[in-house]
Amino acid sequence: MSPPDKAAGEPVITPARVVIGLCLLAPFVAMLWVGSYDSVDPKFIGIPFFYWYQMLWVPLSTALTCVAYVLVRREKAARRAREGGEQQ
């Protein structure tokens, strides 16, 4: 059984899908690479870097996930529009 994108003649890897993947992968890489933020300095309002860096990634991860979601929805809507136009 072939994937739906192949059946429609569309490429499986599109620029939008690459951006989606990067948006979803960036928070994981940033949090799992502990050596990049394993320090006390610079402090921000008295909070060591180790803690505020992780807390900074909470809204950043949310924003990146929202961007990925919007891109997926936009791609699905475009695919539906193309498929609807071809059937008529």
Tell me, what amino acid is at 37?
Answer: Y
pTM value is: 0.76
Phi, psi (degrees; rounded to nearest 5) at 44: -125, 115
Q: What is the pLDDT of residue 19?
A: 93
Q: What is the pLDDT of residue 69?
A: 96
- Residue 9 vs residues 4, 21, 29, 31, 79: alpha-carbon distances, Å: 9, 22, 33, 38, 11
pLDDT tens by residue, 44-57? 899 898 999 999 99
Which residue stretches of the chain have pLDDT < 70?
1-10, 86-88
